[in-house]
Every structure is written in structure tokens, then in C-alpha cells.
Structure 1
Amino acid sequence: MAPPPEGERGGGGCRARWLRREVLLALALGQLVSLLITSTGFSSSELARRGINAPTSQSLLNYILLALVYGGILLYRRQPLTTKWYYYLILGIIDVEANYIVVKSYQYTSLTSVMLLDCWSIPCVIVLTWIFLKTKYGFRKFFGVGVCVAGLILVVFSDVHASDRAKGPKPLKGDLLVIVGSMLYACSNVTEEYLVKKNNRIELMAMLGIFGAVISGIQISILEREELHSIKWNAGAVFPFIGFALAMFLFYSTVPTVLKICGATMLNLSLLTSDMWAVLIRIFAYHEKVDWMYFVAFACTAGGLLVYSYRSRELATSRVG
């Protein structure tokens, strides 16, 4: 949706209303992608509970769906690519490996460490968007980021995670994997923001799906072939695989819209609430009792998102090129 022209009658108020609608839409979509990430976490947990350890295979079906759906639209339109294919190849490699590395880190370190270190993607995104996309950040935005991160820290150090504080078998290796994965996620998000603002969402999703599927297929044949052969493909294994793929497909389909409206930083801040949505699902679906600090943390993170996005000019000041 394009902003109204400045010269229109009442253009100032009209533009302000347009910005408010865009910000509210970005906040809503940010929480949608956060819920989708939460659902992928539950699917992965179910697969892990059944002893299935195939992180690249889980993502393959998502990339295939992206290639089929958006690739089909791209072929129907018969439009030439607006970006060289090798840029999408690089993005595909970064995206596939980021997913693989972070999932792999759970084998070596604790969930608490992963949650804390995964925040490293936020300063990485801020630096990358400031350097390459010329995004302007003021004190209020940095304050909003700080409030969001403080909310996550409250979650991590609440009594709910007390049992998870034990170190993993190789905590240093796991922590390093999380840091590397977070940096790759930051690179992937910023690259997607650049491409979706410069070109279009359909081309981005189609090419990411094609190259992601090819790279995943090669990696599966090298690292996970034996694991796939050992899996007993019953309903208990198939449904989580399909659920994960569908949630990831919807996540990837929604992310470019969030990136186009308000950028990679807002996206990464929104994803901080995914663990809190998981808690609400546990409360209402499984009737579990959780620590009261979770609700304080959720309010804190939500407040940080509002502070970051309030009267946002990032919609207008983020430039590409």
C-alpha cells in the first residue's frame, strides 16, 4: 500500500493515519510470525521426543513448497529476474545453514543459553541495516530494543527455566554455534529486506525456495541419509514433519511483508515473544502452571515493541541502494 501524496488535502493527517495503520499491521504480522515460529518449535520438540534428529530434512519440504507456489506464479507472469541468480544462491546457503546450525546447537548447550545468545542477531541486524540500508535509529528505538531484550531476560531467569540451567555436554561449542547461527540469521534477514524493497516478494520467495531446496537436498544426502532410513514413518512422525513445513511456509510467506513495512530489526524484536506464546499454549492446551514472571516479561517485550514502533519514521527513512 503506497502512502498518500503529501500535496493532497489534509495530507499531513492522512499520512499520519497511514503510518499508524502500517505500524499496527506490522505489529500484528510480527506476532503472527512469532506464533508460527512457536508452532515450528512444538513440531521440532515432538520430532526430538521421538528420537528424530534431521534438522535439514525438516526444512526441505518448506523450500519445496516455496519453489512450487511462488515459482509457479513467477513462471505464469513470465517476468525476467530483476536480481542476478547467484545472489539468491548465496542467500539460500546462508538461510539453510542458519536453520541447521541453531537446531544443531541444542545438542550441546542449554535452552537458556540458546535463548540468551540468540539475541545477538538484534545488534547484528541494527549494524547491518545501518551500514548497508542506511536505516536511521534514534535513542527511542534503542530504548525500545533494550526493553524487549529485558523482557526476554526475565523469561530466561524465571523459575520456569530453573531446571534448564544445567550446562549441556559441550556448552562452549553449543554457544559458539548459536552465535554463528544468529549472525547468519541477521545476514539473511537484512538481505531479504534489501531484496524485497528493491524487487518483489514473489521473486524472492521463488528463488529462495528453489536454491534452498537444492542446497538442503545436497546436505541431506551427505549428513542425514542414514537418519532418514532409520525413521519409522508412521503418523506420529509424518504429522510433525508436515506441520513444521506448513508453519515454516506461512512464516517465510509473511516475513517479506514485515520486512518491507518496518525492516529486519522489528522482525527480530517481534520474534522475541515466541517463547512467551509457547507458554500461553502450554497453559491453555496442556493446563500447565507457569511462573508469574512470564506475564511480566510478555508485557515488557510488548511494551518495547510499542516504544520501538511508536510514530515510526523508519518506514520513510529506510533507503535501499
Structure 2
Amino acid sequence: MVMSFNFKEMNKKKTLIGLGLGQILSLLCTSNAFTSSELARKGINVPTSQSFLGYMLLVIVYGGIMLYRRPTIKAKWYHYLLLALVEVEANFLVVKANQYTSLTSIMLLDCWAIPCVLVLTWLFLKTKYRLMKIIGVVICIIGVVMVVFSDVHAGSQAGGSNPIKGDFLVLAGTTLYAISNTSEEFLVKNADTVELLTFLGFFGAIISVIQIVIFEQGELKAIHWSADIVFPFLRFACTVFLFCTLLPVVLKTNGTAMFTLSLLTSDMWAVLIRIFAYHEKVDWLYYLAFATTAIGLIIYSMKEKDEEEQRKLFDEEDGESETLGQSLIVASTGTLTKGF
């Protein structure tokens, strides 16, 4: 079958919004990474405490909106509890992996989230992925692999203290991310966004407090608090709040797979920041990798013409069947009326 594209689909507001917001979310992830690195350079390693403030912002803002509206709860409370648990632990595992394995390994293993998302959305959300969407995914992954090769080529790879342990932490974390994002897409399409963000913040804050008491209490007591430490915490909290606020929009309009692919550019945005903000030199492969990933995202966001034609044909057949059924009902009613 010959494939052709309907390029007019690219002009649709939904597609453009999805591409734009996806890159904003990617930049927010990059900002979080730089903030965590900044705190780590100061000897502060409290990833759960950083996320706690973001969850509190969600509770204050969206909880206030929810109390004002007093809506009927559309989803079970324990669904939000499980979602918050998975998300908090995913954040913890991936950040923890930085202590054991190299940045190159983390970047490569992050791609594991893509097949996980494709399988989960296919199984539970009944999302269908046609040939060109698969091609778009493959091109995006090639772009990330090129980033890894550029790190190796530039000699920037560090082994890490325990690479095997770190790699398993990344795989576990990315799998949980895939589960979390797929679950959030289901909830945002079947429940209420304000309700989702309120309960995500509420249960996320509770779980974070428990984890802080268990793992980070001593670390927090040892911190000498000052403006240059408080400001990164506040910046991280605002970034988490913005990320959680924009994420449901992307999931609702473009789906989990598109969001996951968009995050692949976060490492490349970090490179651009290093170039223009810190005036660092990077390998030329980074630019090619960024362009490759961008092309993959564009191809994934396109709709195939034959897919549209099949949908229209199905709608027409469905309409004809409905018209035929109505005609039969009218004819039967007329016959009964005449007989009566």
C-alpha cells in the first residue's frame, strides 16, 4: 500500500500546540536538571524534598479551585494515591541513579520509556500506532543515540561508582514514568484536570513527607540555609508546578507517546544552554542529533492520508447504515399505521 501524507494536518491547532507545549515541558525538565546539579555541587542531595514544595503548590492552587467549585469526584481516590506513589518513586529512582552510573548511560536507558509507553497505551488505552508513527519513534531514538555517541566521541563519559546498580535504577524509574504518564492520560480524559492535579499534589506531598522522614531528614538538618540555597528550591518547586499544570494539556490533545518523545530533546536543550549560557564547546554531533529528533517528532505528529480516508469511509458507511435503519423504521411505522 502506498503511503502519502496530508500536510494540511500540520496546520491544525492541536498538532502545533502539542509540539510547542512538548518542548516547553522538555525545557522545564532541563531546568530541573540544572537546579538539581546546582544543589548537588553545593553538597545537597535531597530530591524528594525538592519535589515536595511543587506538590504543595499544586494542593494550594488547584485545591483552592476545587473547594470553590465543590464538584463531584469523578475518579476513585485510591487511583490518585497509586498515581502519586508511582510518580514520586520514579523521580526518586532516576535522580538516585545519577550517583551510580554515567550521564551517557542514563540518556540511553531513558529511551526504555518509549516502548513501555507504546505497549501500555496500546493495551490499556487502545491507541493504534500506524507505520509512520513507528518510523517517527525510531528517528527520535536515533537522535538520542547520536547524542550518546557524541558524548563518547568527546570523551565526556564517566563510568560511575556502580554502573550496573545505576542502570537498573534508571530502567525501574523509566518504567514507572511510563506507567504514571499512561495512567495520567487515562485520568485526564475520563475525569477532571483540576481534580487530578489536586489529588496528585495532595497524595504526592504526603508520600514525599514520609520518604523525607525516612531518607532525607538528617541531610536537611545538616543544610546551612541561605538565599543561594532557598532560591533553587523555590525555582524547582515553581518548575514542577508548571510542568504538572501543562502536562495534562499535552496528554489530552496528543497522548503519552508524543509527550515521551518530546522529552527526548531535554538533553539537547541542556547542551544549547551550556553553549550560550556557559560558553562551553560541544561536539558537532549534538546539532545533528537535535535536528534528527525534531524531524522524528514532526513525522510522528503527522497523520497519514490513507488513515484519514479509512476513517471517512468508516464514517460514511456508518452514516449509510444509520440512514438505512431509519428508513426501515419509518417504512415499518407507515405499514403499521396503514394496517391499523
**Is the pair's TM-score, using the shorter chain for normalization, greater than 0.5?**
yes
- Flag structure 1 segments of 5+ consecutive residues without an equivalent: 1-12
Runs of 4 or more, structure 1, over 3 Å off, are 16-19, 159-164
Candidates 183, 200, 204, aligned match of 1:208: 200
2:66 alignment partner in structure 1: 74
Contact between 1:105 and 1:175, CA under 8 Å: does it hold in 2? yes
Contact between 1:160 and 1:291, CA under 8 Å: does it hold in 2? no
Deviation at 1:162, TM superposition (A): 3.9
2:159 alignment partner in structure 1: 167
Match of 2:277, SS state, is helix
Q: Distance in 1 between matches of 2:248 and 2:179?
A: 14
Whether 2:103 is the aligned partner of 1:114: answer no
2:187 alignment partner in structure 1: 195
Whether 2:260 is the aligned partner of 1:281: answer no
2:86 alignment partner in structure 1: 94
Q: Distance in 1 between matches of 2:272 and 2:99?
A: 26
Whether 2:224 is the aligned partner of 1:232: answer yes
Q: Distance in 2 between matches of 1:19 and 1:85?
A: 39
2:12 alignment partner in structure 1: 20
Match of 1:224, SS state, is helix
Contact between 2:9 and 2:302, CA under 8 Å: does it hold in 1? no
Contact between 1:20 and 1:311, CA under 8 Å: does it hold in 2? no
Cα deviation per residue 1:8-65 (whole Å; 9 max; x = unaligned)? xxxxx9xx66972110110000000001101111100100000001010010000000
Whether 2:146 is the aligned partner of 1:181: answer no
Whether 2:216 is the aligned partner of 1:244: answer no
Q: Which has the larger radius of gyration?
A: 2
One-letter amino acid of the structure 2 residue matched with residue 120 of structure 1: W
Deviation at 1:165, TM superposition (A): 2.3
Q: Distance in 2 between matches of 1:309 and 1:158?
A: 27
Q: Distance in 1 between matches of 2:26 and 2:246?
A: 11
2:36 alignment partner in structure 1: 44
Candidates 291, 297, 317, aligned match of 1:299: 291
1:256 alignment partner in structure 2: 248
Deviation at 1:166, TM superposition (A): 3.1
Candidates 42, 61, 70, aligned match of 2:53: 61
Aligned residues: 301
Contact between 2:275 and 2:282, CA under 8 Å: does it hold in 1? yes
Contact between 2:144 and 2:264, CA under 8 Å: does it hold in 1? yes
TM-score (norm 2): 0.85
Deviation at 1:163, TM superposition (A): 3.8
Deviation at 1:161, TM superposition (A): 7.0
One-letter amino acid of the structure 2 residue matched with residue 249 of structure 1: F
Match of 1:286, SS state, is coil
Contact between 2:59 and 2:201, CA under 8 Å: does it hold in 1? yes
TM-score (norm 1): 0.90
One-letter amino acid of the structure 1 residue matched with residue 238 of structure 2: L
One-letter amino acid of the structure 2 residue matched with residue 154 of structure 1: M
- Flag structure 2 segments of 5+ consecutive residues without an equivalent: 1-5, 312-340
Deviation at 1:159, TM superposition (A): 4.4
Cα deviation per residue 1:215-253 (whole Å; 9 max; x = unaligned)? 000110111000000011112211111111111110111
Cα deviation per residue 1:89-143 (whole Å; 9 max; x = unaligned)? 0001001000000000111111111111111011000000000000000111111
| RMSD value, Cα | 1.8
One-letter amino acid of the structure 1 residue matched with residue 148 of structure 2: V
